[in-house]
Amino acid sequence: MKRNRRMRILIEGSRDIPKNLAHEIEKNHSLEIIMKPQGALTMIKMRETAKKTLFYLGEVLVTECKVKVSNQVGIGIVTGMEEDLAYQLAVIDAAFKAELSEINEWIPLLEEEEKQMIAAKRLDAAIIQKTKVNFETMDV
């Protein structure tokens, strides 16, 4: 599972999942906190559609953390002030980089969470679709 997909599931999905996965690593492995969770500002890069040029839209507050597990550094970055989640993401990232045995059990769990997220988004889209007005069928 690619890192981008994994992080999206962990950030957008249930908060219990990253909490439980990080706790499992803490229990079974020694880890070192390289950088405690702390706030930072980062620039938001956007692409202008007509000329295809990059520009900076503004800044966003993020929380970032770095940990080391089995000589592999993991990074957790999340928007807003979410210190616990940033730490948990860093631990999980380091576990995947170190290819620990626990990750084999995590992938089906993450895939199931992704299916639930997709189903919830489809349900929300269907509810919104019911409220749309079709102007072509209206008598004017």
Kindly report the pTM of this predicted structure: 0.84
Residues in the chain, total: 140
In a domain, 47, yes or no: yes
Angle CA 56–60–66, to nearest 5? 115
pLDDT at position 140: 59
pLDDT at position 9: 96
pLDDT digits (tens, 9 = 90+) for 34-56: 999 999 999 999 998 888 899 99
In a domain, 132, yes or no: no
In a domain, 81, yes or no: yes
E strand or H helix that includes residue 134: none
In a domain, 134, yes or no: no
In a domain, 140, yes or no: no
In a domain, 45, yes or no: yes
Dihedral of the CA atoms 97, 102, 107, 108 (nearest 10)?
Answer: 180
DSSP state of 49: T
Phi, psi of 71 (to 5 degrees): 60, 20
Report how many domains make up the chain. Answer: 1
In a domain, 61, yes or no: yes
Residue with tokens 């229990």: 27
In a domain, 32, yes or no: yes
Share of the chain above pLDDT 90, in %: 84
Average pLDDT in the chain: 92
Angle between helices 83-97 and 16-28 (to 10 degrees): 60
pLDDT digits (tens, 9 = 90+) for 102-135: 999 999 999 999 999 999 999 999 998 888 877 7
Tell whether the torsion through CA atoms of 71, 72, 73 and 78 is positive or negative. negative
For residue 110, what are the domain limits? 3-126
